[in-house]
Amino acid sequence: MTNILPVLDHAAADLPASLERLFELVRIKSISTDPAYGAECRKAAEWLVAELRSLGFDAAVRETPGHPMVVAHHDGPREDAPHVLFYGHYDVQPVDPLNLWDNDPFEPAVRDIEGGRRIITGRGTSDDKGQLMTFVEACRAYKETQGALPCRVSILFEGEEESGSPSLKPFLEANAAELTADCALVCDTSMWDFETPAISAGLRGLVGEEIVVRAANRDLHSGYYGGAAANPIHVLAEILAGLHDESGRVTLEGFYDGVEETPSQIKAAWDTLGTTAESFLGEIGLSVPSGEKGRSVLELTWARPTAEVNGIVGGYTGDGFKTVIAAEASAKVSFRLVGKQDPGSIRDAFRAYVQSKIPSDCSVSFHAHGGSPAIQLPYDSPLLTKAKDALSDEWSKPAVVIGMGGSIPIVGDFQKMLGMESLLVGFGLSDDRIHSPNEKYELRSFEKGIRSWIRILAAIASK
């Protein structure tokens, strides 16, 4: 195994220069959603290619129907060395409203804030330029001290993540053989807190459905027809209410097929994080968990499937009062999936359940709104174990393995299209104000993020 102490020392000594390189990238206004900034997006891609080439990568700007990709490859110390694909994105969110920024969003600086913390300010410092540059600078430290990288490294930097990634799937499909590696490294995530690094081992999947229940052929006077005519709002309310039983479990047939219990040691580790129902829900004015009984809020949001009603429409909703029985009512329902739940089976089970509740003289139509499976890195994965140990060696508190309630589409694409597991390690914090005015990235996150990737690459390369 490579002696990484010289690499770590070089990264520390080179931090001022690393910061200036990050500042150069942040100054590029690569706002992907606004066509007016198309040239800036290309400029960011070209800047990254130049930096990677200076480190010995075979790097190129790759065209797409939208903003370009950056693809780069570097050999390892030997042909059989592990091969990683690192993913990040160089595009950023718009800065509006500009008047709420304390400083120019595209003129980064290091500022001191309360508590002795030092932050890097500017759009994209956390999401995702600061994050991706931690990896680039880790590679630089290896090259400038060892003359080589500890493993084979490919890089994919996207320019449309903040605008829905319309070019990503076609690009992955067209370049699958080139981009497939032993594993993917994804940096677009956060730490648990200021002192505790985190690895996100699970991402919930998603199924979205819109249902429209129709009854009479027109809206009806509720005095004339009330009590005799079917009310689609009543029908819809019964359907939605029946999605859960008294214990909070989802009632759909086969819903829990493929759902595994979280290992006891993982739940015990989550318990040590100090998150209670009161602390988790208190800031939003709630206190009592509404999901499955007997489970912690972290387990409910990270490792259990859900059924949620996201919107209901029906009848008269304007000012005043109108005594009407609506002709139709609709609802949007989403399911968060875990483990090996199959999105298609969940959709079929939901539609069968709804159909069983529709009166014979009423009808229902369905409109699908996407479906993706959950992503779960095995808790006993050697990759996870190596990364966890490497992070724990760098930070003041041991790394924790967490879940994520939402989804990162690229991780699913890597698994489904390229057959790769993804290691999700990032150094953002919950108060980084990503997508908002006054975005920032902790200087400590940038410095120790570089050092963390140095350690993780060494760990992956070890036997």
Once rounded to an integer, what is the mean pLDDT over residues 190-218? 95
Once rounded to an integer, what is the mean pLDDT over residues 84-89? 98
Cβ proximity of 32 and 162 under 8 Å = yes
pLDDT (0 to 100) of residue 406: 81
Average pLDDT, the chain: 96
How far is it, in rounded angstroms, from Cα 288 to Cα 384? 33
pLDDT (0 to 100) of residue 347: 98
Domain 205-259+305-372 has CATH 1.25.40.80: no
Question: Cβ atoms within 10 A of the Cβ of 447, count?
Answer: 19
Tens of pLDDT, residues 430-442: 999 999 999 999 9
pLDDT (0 to 100) of residue 1: 57
Tens of pLDDT, residues 56-72: 999 999 999 999 999 99
pLDDT (0 to 100) of residue 231: 97
What token pair was written down for 252?
């759909």
Q: Is the pLDDT of residue 165 over 80?
A: yes
How far is it, in rounded angstroms, from Cα 202 to Cα 337? 11
Once rounded to an integer, what is the mean pLDDT over residues 303-319? 96
Cβ proximity of 287 and 278 under 8 Å = yes
The 3-state secondary structure of the chain reads CCCCHHHHHHHHHCHHHHHHHHHHHHCCCCECCCHHHHHHHHHHHHHHHHHHHHCCCEEEEECCCCCCEEEEEECCCCCCCCEEEEEEECCECCCCCHHHCCCCCCCCEEEEEHHHEEEEECCCCCCCHHHHHHHHHHHHHHHHHHCCCCCEEEEEEECCHHHCCCCHHHHHHHCHHHHCCCEEEECCCECCECCECEEEEEECEEEEEEEEEECCCCCEEHHHHCCCCCCHHHHHHHHHHCCECCCCCECCCCCCCCCCCCCHHHHHHHHCCCCCHHHHHHCCCCCCCCCCCCCCHHHHHHCCCEEEEEEEEECCCCCCCCCEECCEEEEEEEEEECCCCCHHHHHHHHHHHHHHCCCCCCEEEEEEEEEECCEECCCCCHHHHHHHHHHHHHCCCCCEEEEECCCCHHHHHHHHHHCCCEEEECCECCCCCCCCCCCEEEHHHHHHHHHHHHHHHHHHHCC
Q: Is the pLDDT of residue 91 over 80?
A: yes
Q: Which CATH architecture has domain 5-203+374-461?
A: 3-Layer(aba) Sandwich (3.40)
Q: Is the pLDDT of residue 20 over 80?
A: yes
What is the percent of the chain where pLDDT is above 90? 94
Q: Is the pLDDT of residue 136 over 60?
A: yes
How far is it, in rounded angstroms, from Cα 122 to Cα 130? 10
How far is it, in rounded angstroms, from Cα 362 to Cα 347? 21
Give the residue extent of every domain in the chain: 5-203+374-461, 205-259+305-372
Q: Is the pLDDT of residue 182 over 70?
A: yes
Distances (CA, A) of 268 to 80, 151, 298, 396: 38, 34, 11, 20
Distances (CA, A) of 362 to 194, 209, 319: 56, 19, 28
How far is it, in rounded angstroms, from Cα 446 to Cα 450? 6
Q: 178: alpha, beta or left, given left = phi > 0 and alpha = psi -120 to 50? A: alpha
pTM, entire model: 0.89
Once rounded to an integer, what is the mean pLDDT over residues 13-22? 98
How far is it, in rounded angstroms, from Cα 111 to Cα 416? 42
pLDDT (0 to 100) of residue 283: 87
Instruction: Label residue 408 by pLDDT band (50, 70, 90).
Output: confident
Same fold, 5-203+374-461 and 205-259+305-372: no
Once rounded to an integer, what is the mean pLDDT over residues 200-226? 95
Once rounded to an integer, what is the mean pLDDT over residues 228-251? 98
Q: Is the pLDDT of residue 144 over 60?
A: yes
